[in-house]
Amino acid sequence: MLEVQKQVSLQALNSFGFSSIADSYTEITEPSQLPLLIDYCQAHKLPWLLLGGGSNLVLSAHVPGVVALIKLQGVDITSLEPPYVRVRVAAGEPWHETVSWLLSQGYYGLENLALIPGAVGAAPVQNIGAYGVELKDRVTGVDVYDTLQGQFTRLSSAECQFNYRDSLFKSVEPGRYIITAVEFELFTNPDHLVLNYQALQKTCEVLAGSQVITPRHVFDAVCQLRRNKLPDPAMLGNAGSFFKNPWVSQAKYQILRQNFTDLVAYPDAGGYKLAAGWLIEACGWKGKHYEKVGVYAKQSLVLVNYGGGDREQIESLATQISDSVHAVFGIWLEPEPRYYP
Ligand code: FAD
Ligand code: NAP
């Protein structure tokens, strides 16, 4: 059964805290409700918007169609053959709590992704990543409801076309698949640490002292670093990094490097990944306010809502930032969150 409510506020359901009203709203607690949802939308010629934690989208004041909050619950160990364990997690489970629980069970490999807001089901959408680990590194399959074929199926990791902050679900066929669960392959031994981010390595060394660094140290270090640098959406509305880090060719990098000797860049896929936060800061945006939104003072890649801001203000600020980065560096920044509608 599908319960559809009318004119529902989404303000508490998006991490920017924007005031937004959904024409229709429903909560999905059973996979069997998904075909009903799609039938309902198609019969009434309505668009649908899937919602997890609302931490990677920008909502307009009015959202037409049906907003469906995915609340599917459950965690299953699908196989345990040390040194590997496979775990299937339902889409509505909260991401950070899942990472924390898996760590407490001795299942390792997701600790670099601690404290990312949102739900498990949204994590494959932009192939979440942090501190040198991406979701794709640990995923074996994604269970979906295919709204085109009207059937439940499993997509392999390769079929998900994971890329840097991107996937099949985000840019190739957005809206076609509703993710119902994600299966991870994790480690049962604690020696697969990823410590190539300098700040993470240093913080782990401090936390571990004379002990060997463990996944627990990595988890704690990531939480500490993030709490120090990122605004908590409960206190200050934001959607994390607002732009993706741009990739440039070797040739473009060499030209930029001649003019900007302190440019922050990392070798990547034959070219360079530039730190978008550095580009924005270099254009003088750090800490700037624009109407009721602004650029976070501790990390220029994060745009914030100081209270009473809205989609139009964020979009205008993002455009101004993007234009100025293009004027100085000749690079267009691509927004990471999606605008709805
Ligand atoms: P939502 O915002 O609810 O949805 C995001 C997109 O996924 C929407 O297009 C939505 O329609 C779609 N979607 C949601 N659920 C489903 C589903 N079940 N099936 C199909 N589509 C679905 N991201 C990173 O990659 N790395 C970080 O380190 C990181 N740090 C962050 C820090 C902060 C403080 C904040 C606010 C955000 C951060 N993010 C980060 C962005 C965001 O948290 C992640 O992208 C997260 O996975 C979004 O989850 P969500 O449940 O909030 O998704
Ligand atoms: P940071 O450590 O100050 O690094 C700045 C940028 O440089 C990051 O964007 C990161 O790219 C890149 N970088 C740093 N060390 C690197 C290395 N050894 N190899 C390759 N790239 C390197 O970044 P931060 O702002 O404090 O964030 C820390 C991590 O959390 C980053 O991975 C970041 O992506 C993630 N994060 C993501 C969001 C989001 O909403 N997407 C929000 C907050 C934090 P990458 O971004 O590619 O890692």
Q: What is the pLDDT of residues 81-99, one digit of tens each?
A: 999 999 999 999 999 999 9
Ligand 1 neighbour 116 (Cβ under 6 A): yes
- pLDDT of the residue at 51: 98
- pLDDT of the residue at 271: 98
- pLDDT of the residue at 115: 98
67's CB contacts (< 8 A; 6+ apart) are 8, 10, 22, 24, 25, 26, 48, 49, 51
Query: Distance from CA of residue 241 to its chain's centroid?
Result: 9
- pLDDT of the residue at 315: 98
Point out the residues that are catalytic. Answer: 165, 241, 336
Ligand 2 centroid to Cα of residue 102, in Å, is 23
- pLDDT of the residue at 196: 95
- pLDDT of the residue at 82: 97
pLDDT in tens, 180-233: 999 999 999 999 999 999 999 999 999 999 999 999 999 999 999 999 999 999
Considering the entire predicted model, what is its pTM? 0.97
Mean pLDDT by 10 residues, the chain (341 residues): 97 98 98 98 97 98 98 98 98 98 98 98 98 98 98 98 97 97 98 96 98 98 97 98 98 97 96 98 98 97 98 98 98 98 96
Q: Contact at 8 Å (CB) between 123 and 135?
A: yes
Mutate to test the pocket of ligand 1, among 13, 37, 56, 60 (most ligand atoms within 8 A of CB): 56
Q: In whole angstroms, how large is the CA radius of gyration of the chain?
A: 21
- pLDDT of the residue at 7: 98
- pLDDT of the residue at 129: 98
d(CA 315, CA 261): 31
Ligand 1 neighbour 129 (Cβ under 6 A): yes
The conformation of residue 169, written as its DSSP 8-state character, comes to: I
